[in-house]
Amino acid sequence: MTYDRLVCANCAAPVSEGRCRVCRASRERMQEQGPFSGLNPAMLIALMVILVAALALLAHQV
């Protein structure tokens, strides 16, 4: 899950804005979880499409 869609229970603002200390702590924790944690879903889908296209091109050449 990406943090850009999460809403803070403490201040009721989007976590990505980091308005309160709870938001900032959650944002930092989620950014440290992995290399793809900061990407939004559209970017993940685009990466998957590129990967599938590359695999199809390799399969076609063999």
Residues 6+ apart with CB under 8 A from 8: 14, 15, 19, 20, 22, 23, 26
Task: State the total domains in the chain.
Answer: 1
In which domain, by residue range, is 15 found? 3-61
**Region of 56 on the Ramachandran plot (φ > 0 left; ψ -120 to 50 alpha; else beta):** alpha
For the stretch 14-31, pLDDT in tens is: 887 888 988 888 878 877
Residue 47: is its pLDDT beyond 50?
yes
Cα gap 54→5, rounded to integer Å: 30
pTM beyond 0.95, yes or no: no
